[in-house]
Structure 1
Amino acid sequence: MNHSREFGRPTSRRGFLQTVGAVGGAGAALSAMGALGLAPSSASAATPPFRAPRASDFTLTGRRPARVAVVGAGVAGLTAAYELCKAGHEVTVLDARPRIGGRSLTVRGGDTLTDIKGVTQRASFAPGQYFNAGPAMLPQWSVSTDYCRELGVPLEVFAISNTNTFVFDPKGSDKPRFQTARADALGVVAELLAKVTNQGALDRELSAADKERLLGFLKTMGDLGDDLVHQGDPRRRGFAVNPGAAGSPGVPLPPRGSLDRVFTEQLSRHWYLDAGFDMASTLLQPVGGMDRIVEALADHIGRRRIRCGVEVTSITDGPHGTRLAYRGSASGVLDVEYCIVTTPPRVAARIAGLPAEATALLGGFLAEFPGKIGLEYRNRWWEDDFAIHGGLTSYGEDGSLWYPSSDYRGERGVMVAYFERAETTIEGLPPAQRAAEAVNRNVRVHGAKARTELASSLSVMWGREPFVEGGWQPADTQNNGVVNTPRFRPLTEPTGRVFYAGDWLSNMLGWQHGSMVSARKAVEKVHARALAT
């Protein structure tokens, strides 16, 4: 959005703060509010706390636990089964994939993956190395971290924002460090705003005291001198040669250059990595791989209750129970009283016997097709040569390069090349060519070692993963908020004995938090029905 025509016009406090927020994110807006003497306000809607079902609930009512089938052994399905087991329900989990976890896929050496085109890859990562091909991070406020505490899964920091990473535009030649690019952008913005403020353009909207506080804030934020000119302090922008002992003050980086090199589209993408509610620092990850969560859930559920390699082909809902037909490693039928379907909606839409209105809604969901490539290196040259420990470097409109956030200064490490729209770039290529494209991107940013030190690779294209067929599946093109509307009540408030859960049926699409809270809602409904029967 172009705001240049706004200069010289009266600016309200709200309008000014919106501008600061657009440039510097929520943190900058909050600081500006403090500089103006404004206190932020907060309000949160009261949400009834989740009460896990208990076996004692049946003792108190004289009822018996129910037999429940859960279709899908991803995060939503395993969470549902785990909560149902707490109350003593008889639970059976069925999943068409050969392993649990769904999109929560951690690949280790020796693992074999076969996609829907019949292409098979075998991972050859060294012992101790792993590749989170699906979710890689947990918001610190999320229900996911609560489950990690409950299940005894240790957590560590996942570094997404690292000022030492690069802001790389594949259409150009510049690749400044994020620290440098951010310092230059803040300096220019602060300089322009300070000059507008000092020239009286805001007199009608800001009091003299407001202006004084604002100028003090802008001087600090943008490293401005008394003349309101950006000074470009190397301790903010970084050094070409870092400071050393006495007599070695360091060599500052060259000046920032023209404004078109400061305000790049790529900087905007990089800047907002941790500005959103869901990805705000501090992010977390399970120690040893994301699959630690689903494995812990499976252990608590009991492996005997989980059947993998079993595809549910039909679900018949009756007044007294539900019958599931399945095939795969075993074929047959399963008679239960309730069923929770947690497979991705477009996959669930192919299950025969579901109500027509539910099937129509499920089949109408969209799909995104990201891809990830794990690049294992013999040594952690990005730490040695570039002093980068965690974080990511953005790469154009559709990708980024992720540095591992664990085992710093270890011997080996797995970098991740992420492709947001893999179906338009690498999905159709053989695995070796996908890896070559990822390495080429890596070389453009980091140099020859990104090729010469490569030990192994493996790619996961989520549009080609059997019984998943997409990274996430939104109900509309903008967000998943539409599932809150009455049109989706056949899925959110079903009248029969079949219930639904998944991140796609939550307001946190693409996050394990969304899968878990949706699963808990379905469990509450099943449990209430069982108590009332």
Structure 2
Amino acid sequence: MGVSRRAFLTALGRVGGYGAVFTAMQALGLLAVSPAYAGPPDLPAGSGRGIKVAVLGGGVAGLVSALELRKAGYEVTVLEALDRPGGRSWTIRGGDTVRQLGRPDQVVDWTREPNHYFNAGPGRIPQSHHAVLACCRDLGVPLEVMVNANRAAKLDFNGQVVTNGQATNDTRGAFSELLAKAIDRRALDRELTGVDRERLMAYLSAYGALDRNKTYAGSDRAQFSTHPGAYLQAPVNAPPLRLSDMAQARFWGVSLLFEEFADMQATMLQPVGGMDRIAFALYERVKPAVRLGCRIQAIRRAGPGARIVYTEGGAERVLEADHVICTLPLPVLAKIPSDFSPPVKAAVADGARGYFSGTKVAFETRRFWEQDDFQFGGLGWTDEINETVWYPSGGLSEKTGILVGAYSIGFSSPDAPGKFAALPFEERFETCRRVIEKFHPGRGRELARPVTVCWAQTEFAEAAAVGWQEAQRAGAYALLCKPDGPFLFAGEHMSYLNAWQEGAVLSAHEAIKLIRAQVAA
């Protein structure tokens, strides 16, 4: 009996987590890679004169919408519930207060240095995300390299801690040895001609660092037991990891595949000083149109246009508009009384159920990973429920910095995010300290002044990002791609680049195109 793609992906998720599912979906053609960027929609100057647009949400999608529409003369009003722009593009610094639903407030008492920041939301920009990079260029936001992968960073699975370089290259060597033995035993004669067999054997010897006996006995690509030095200090390769140990430790999960994902391949980038530099640069361009601290109470129709009821400073207010771009996350939008058509209401509710959360923890500390271990940037991976240790790429060689001790979003197990989010703050912090102590013995006690953010516990977000299922793309998602009278939808959830700012920017462009078409009609 055949197995459906959905059943296959569900089973794969139980075994390999989010990363395995992500890779499989790309291979099956269910996740699109960013096409070449064509630029923002062409709106003739003055074409929006006299036309009012309400933008609900002051995140990246809302701010980009406002920027492009205002260029063409539209009268735009952005309503944002928070006291800052950016939405989930949120960077935390010393002096900030972090509020979480049902949890105590956290006052961040970090040193106020330029590189002492914590990206609670997005933290990297792939070089394939041309729309966001174009925004940075046009807005004058300086970028720097974000070290997404580092062979010196540690992996911790099943209690065994090794470097990424050792796990990667010992895996490559072990697989190459197995394939070479199969070729030697003529197991692939039906697939290979004599010449092809010789060429493949030569390649495997180089690719897997095999010796003359076609055996992998370790490699200087993986790990040294004695590092090369001066005079008589010759290098000695460390004994390779055994294939059986690597299989038991699950080293072949997302940690060894991560930098092969289409959106994770070098070179990765980040704004200098924090990811919110993009949102604030957009905000400065459209500031007169943005009203912070405005909570949406109802979204109503008013003839061919719309009427938005909201509160500001405790007072109820009404905004009339010809068009409305809704950029609110669907779990938030679904709770607001609206005059969306019944099918659109059902689509919003359907999409809202598919969101996933994520939890991060950050510490201020001495940069011991650089000063003691000479590791600069990258990600450390563990099968404990904090999942990831994220080392900073900015401020290299400074005395202190911000170390992200957890990014629990389902990389290693679909159960990890829920378990980690449910922990009291102190237990989250202790989990991170325990893992970092394994990576850097004696240094876990140096981690100070922790801060944590769980997106399921963050007001006006309630989740990290959407996770559309294949069937939803043809149903609820497709419906939200169309205007519902004066209402249009944008945000990362209105793209095939979910959880990325690129999706937010491109969806804003698509919503603007729909307004342009409505105005022309």
TM-score normalised to the size of structure 2?
A: 0.87
- Tell me, yes or no, if structure 1 residue 436 matches structure 2 residue 430: yes
- Tell me, yes or no, if structure 1 residue 473 matches structure 2 residue 460: no
Distance 1:446 1:48, change over 3 A: closer
Q: Which amino acid aligns with 2:168?
A: R
- Tell me, yes or no, if structure 1 residue 321 matches structure 2 residue 305: yes
- Pairing 1:127-146 to 2, within 5 Å after superposition: 127-128=112-113, 129-142=116-129, 143-146=131-134
- Could you say what secondary structure the match of 1:427 adopts? helix
Distance 1:485 1:287, change over 3 A: same
User: What corresponds to 2:517 in structure 1?
Assistant: 528
- Pairing 1:51-62 to 2, within 5 Å after superposition: 51-56=40-45, 58=47
How far apart are the structure 1 equivalents of 2:408 and 2:477? 31
User: What corresponds to 2:172 in structure 1?
Assistant: 186
Contact 1:53-1:86 at 8 Å conserved across structures: no
For residue 209 of structure 1, report the CA deviation from its aligned partner.
2.1
How far apart are the structure 1 equivalents of 2:117 and 2:436? 19
- Tell me, yes or no, if structure 1 residue 427 matches structure 2 residue 403: no
Distance 1:494 1:54, change over 3 A: closer
Contact 1:53-1:84 at 8 Å conserved across structures: no
Distance 1:65 1:217, change over 3 A: farther
Q: Which amino acid aligns with 2:450?
A: S
How far apart are the structure 2 equivalents of 1:46 and 1:258? 41
How far apart are the structure 1 equivalents of 2:479 and 2:53? 19
For residue 47 of structure 1, report the CA deviation from its aligned partner.
7.7
- Pairing 1:88-487 to 2, within 5 Å after superposition: 88-117=73-102, 119-128=104-113, 129-142=116-129, 143-169=131-157, 171-172=158-159, 174-233=160-219, 235-253=220-238, 255-263=239-247, 264-301=249-286, 303-329=287-313, 330-355=315-340, 356-365=342-351, 366-377=354-365, 379-396=366-383, 398=385, 399-416=387-404, 417-420=406-409, 424-451=418-445, 453-476=446-469, 481-482=470-471, 484-487=473-476
User: What corresponds to 1:518 in structure 2?
Assistant: 507
Contact 2:295-2:312 at 8 Å conserved across structures: yes
How far apart are the structure 2 equivalents of 1:293 and 1:300? 11
How far apart are the structure 1 equivalents of 2:61 and 2:100? 22
Q: Which amino acid aligns with 2:468?
A: A
Instruction: List per-residue Cα deviations over 1:410-443 (Å, max 9, x = no partner).
Output: 1111111212266533434443443233222222
Contact 2:304-2:485 at 8 Å conserved across structures: no
Bigger radius of gyration among the two: 1
- Could you say what secondary structure the match of 2:228 adopts? coil
Distance 1:277 1:257, change over 3 A: closer
Contact 1:340-1:500 at 8 Å conserved across structures: yes
Q: Which amino acid aligns with 2:481?
A: T
For residue 111 of structure 1, report the CA deviation from its aligned partner.
0.7
- Could you say what secondary structure the match of 2:369 adopts? helix
- Tell me, yes or no, if structure 1 residue 494 matches structure 2 residue 483: yes
User: What corresponds to 1:7 in structure 2?
Assistant: none
- Could you say what secondary structure the match of 2:372 adopts? helix
Cα RMSD (Å) of the superposition? 2.4
Q: Which amino acid aligns with 1:386?
A: D
Instruction: List per-residue Cα deviations over 1:260-300 (Å, max 9, x = no partner).
Output: 22333134321011111111121111111000000011011
How far apart are the structure 1 equivalents of 2:122 and 2:343? 31
Instruction: List per-residue Cα deviations over 1:35-63 (Å, max 9, x = no partner).
Output: xxxxxxxx9998893443434262xxxx7
Q: Which amino acid aligns with 2:201?
A: L
How far apart are the structure 2 equivalents of 1:57 and 1:433? 56
Q: 1:74 aligns with which of 46, 53, 59?
A: 59
% identical equivalent positions: 34
Contact 2:91-2:121 at 8 Å conserved across structures: yes
For residue 238 of structure 1, report the CA deviation from its aligned partner.
2.0
- Could you say what secondary structure the match of 1:213 adopts? helix
- Could you say what secondary structure the match of 2:318 adopts? strand
How far apart are the structure 1 equivalents of 2:91 and 2:332? 22
Q: Which amino acid aligns with 2:436?
A: N
Distance 1:57 1:85, change over 3 A: closer
For residue 195 of structure 1, report the CA deviation from its aligned partner.
1.8
How far apart are the structure 1 equivalents of 2:375 and 2:198? 39
For residue 318 of structure 1, report the CA deviation from its aligned partner.
3.4
Q: Which amino acid aligns with 1:465?
A: T
For residue 205 of structure 1, report the CA deviation from its aligned partner.
1.8
For residue 257 of structure 1, report the CA deviation from its aligned partner.
4.7
Q: Which amino acid aligns with 1:262?
A: M
Question: Does 80-89 or 465-474 show the bigger shift?
Answer: 80-89
Q: Which amino acid aligns with 1:460?
A: V
Distance 1:98 1:432, change over 3 A: farther
Distance 1:368 1:484, change over 3 A: closer
How far apart are the structure 1 equivalents of 2:272 and 2:119? 12
Q: Which amino acid aligns with 2:132?
A: S
- Could you say what secondary structure the match of 1:236 adopts? coil
How far apart are the structure 2 equivalents of 1:315 and 1:194? 65
